A and B are shown apart, each in its own frame.
Chain A
Amino acid sequence: MKTAIDGKIIASTFMISLILAFLVLNGMVSDWGRLTGGFGNLKNFFYQSLWPPDWSVLEPQVYPVCTARYPFEFTCSTAWIGVIETIKIAFVATVFGMALSLPLSLAAARNLSPRWLSYSSRFILSAFRSLPSLIWAIFFVILIGMGPLSGVLAMTVYTVGYLGKLWYEAMEGLNKTPLEAAQAMGLNKYETALNVVVPESANDLISHSIFLFEYNFRSGTIIGIVGAGGIGYYIDLYLRFLQYDKVVAYLLIIFLVVLIIDFLSIYARSFFNEEDDLRIPSWSEVFLGIFSSANEADDLSDR
């Protein structure tokens, strides 16, 4: 930062941006009255088509015949099968994405690589990131057909683009003294990357990876709609048949799973914090935290 910035400048800049945003929006919207009608439509749609959810999606499918015993019959349901497949796709894509992101982010970090390598690596990462995972999913479905493999490839490509950027930014933010010490001692780039850069930025690398797993699960619900596997396939199916009460049941299940993954990720990330005096939440706190106040959740995620 070349000049010091005080609170007044930040506040006035924010206010000007806000006014400008409203003016731009006003220029684009011709009839503000539609907003009130929209709420009425939503209310009708909600009570006539969405609520109550149809929980039959948790019942075993007729075919193939369910071999699970009570109380585990739900594992034969489309909801369970879809969620598990989405989690599997997200996990595989995240791990593959991590493996490919590491060399690319090391190459893209300007404090570790020559300019030509840094810029060309950033170009690749930007290209991967420029398309959302849904578009990548359509691309792979066209290329190799429907199914989870298309989903895995689509999300891997997007993960590399996103994670690679987060990682090289974390690496560029490293204190330069350990790198200089390694350089002065005569360690080569590979040794420096493996023994200095990776351990020094491990907190950020792990934290970003867990975040990407969460993200991949959420986007995994969408890419199923284009035939790339996961729970999205079933959502798309019932949307086509206008069975919105079943769609709502799936969305609530996804919401619950996202909450659980979110809190598990908070737990996992608490092991990789910078500060030592922070308290690692217990498992019971993590699960009970789902029902606790939003403030506590914010507090945890700040760690």
Chain B
Amino acid sequence: MQTDADLNEPLLILRDVAIGYHPSDSLVNIPNLEVFPGEIVAIAGPSGIGKSTLLRTIAGLVSPITGRLEVCGAIMPEKPPRGHLGYIPQKLGLVRHASVKHNVELGARAGIKSRKLRQQRSIEAIDIMGLSEKSAEPIRRLSGGQQRRVATARTLAQRPKLILADEFLSELDEETLTSVLEAVTDYVRESKAALIVVEHDISRAKMMADKLLVIDDGRINPFVKGTKAMEVNM
């Protein structure tokens, strides 16, 4: 249960962080970034500029070159508490030979101890994503869009505090996209979680995000929704 004090604490803090795969060649430099509960942050920019690497760094899969990175109260290299971080990679990271149910329960397993509750949450998440009829199907038999919905259901069943999603809305038709986005944003707002999403479609990024981070030439340019800068510059 989150207290009022928790709600004022940022779920993600980056201070003078440089990211990249080689110490001598940083992709992005972030002087200061904080993400608070209930916030949706979109990261945009041309391909190959380091958006996914930034997400992978926050997920703890790549070490930052320099700087201080705090995720859900844990200062890296310490790991955030189990299940607090939800991650939807660009390639989804699903177990292709296993069923939809198995994959979604994997997320629930990370976030919930009780087996019964895990199953219940998984069924709910599968239902929200409109995949109830596909529950027993192996992932490899699903379309690209359906697989994205499974990855999203896995994260919803997990109930994390911070969701990292890499292009999770691509390959979805307009109707499905709206319902998936609505389910995720509803969860973020109601649970006071936070969502950081990499999105190549800048208009969609503007539409969903409270804060937009545009990566350009190794620097992050933040724009806050409702401000003139966001309207003029974007």
Q: Does B134 contact A (CB under 8 A)?
A: no
Taking a contact as CB atoms under 8 Å apart, the answer to whether A196 and B60 are in contact is no
Considering the complex, which residues of chain B in the window 25-60 have a beta carbon less than 8 Å from any beta carbon of chain A? 56, 59-60
Considering the complex, which residues of chain B in the window 70-89 have a beta carbon less than 8 Å from any beta carbon of chain A? 79-89
Among B60, B83, B92, B106, chain A packs the most CB atoms within 10 A around the CB of: B106
Residue of A184, A187, A191, A203 touching B97 (CB-CB under 8 A):
A203
Taking a contact as CB atoms under 8 Å apart, the answer to whether A199 and B83 are in contact is no
Q: Does A42 contact B (CB under 8 A)?
A: no
Given that A185-B158, A195-B109, A199-B98 are known contacts, is A180 also in contact with B81, CB under 8 Å in the complex?
no
Given that A180-B61, A191-B109, A195-B102 are known contacts, is A185 also in contact with B85, CB under 8 Å in the complex?
yes
A215 CA to B82 CA in the complex, in Å?
44
Minimal Cβ-Cβ distance residue in B for A202: B97
Q: Does B234 contact A (CB under 8 A)?
A: no
A179 CA to B107 CA in the complex, in Å?
13
Considering the complex, which residues of chain A in the window 165-217 have a beta carbon less than 8 Å from any beta carbon of chain B? 175, 177-187, 191, 195-196, 199-200, 202-203
Question: Which A residues are in CB contact (< 8 Å) with B82?
Answer: 186
Q: Mark B125-136, 1 if CB is under 8 A from A, else 0.
A: 000000000000
A127 CA to B106 CA in the complex, in Å?
36
Taking a contact as CB atoms under 8 Å apart, the answer to whether A180 and B59 are in contact is yes
Minimal Cβ-Cβ distance residue in A for B158: A185
Minimal Cβ-Cβ distance residue in A for B87: A184
A contacts, CB < 8 Å to B: 175, 177-187, 191, 195-196, 199-200, 202-203, 274, 276
Counting contact residues on chain B (CB < 8 A from A), the size range is 20 to 34
Q: Mark B179-220, 1 if CB is under 8 A from A, else 0.
A: 000000000000000000000000000000000000000000
Question: Which B residues are in CB contact (< 8 Å) with A202?
Answer: 97
How far is the CB of A23 from the nearest CB of chain B, in Å?
47
Taking a contact as CB atoms under 8 Å apart, the answer to whether A186 and B80 are in contact is yes
Given that A186-B110, A276-B140 are known contacts, is A177 also in contact with B89, CB under 8 Å in the complex?
yes
Question: Which A residues are in CB contact (< 8 Å) with B59?
Answer: 180, 184
Given that A180-B89, A276-B141 are known contacts, is A185 also in contact with B95, CB under 8 Å in the complex?
no
**Interface contacts beyond A180-B87, A186-B82: sample of 4 additional A-B pairs, CB < 8 Å, sorted by A:** A180-B59, A181-B92, A184-B59, A186-B110
Q: Does B23 contact A (CB under 8 A)?
A: no
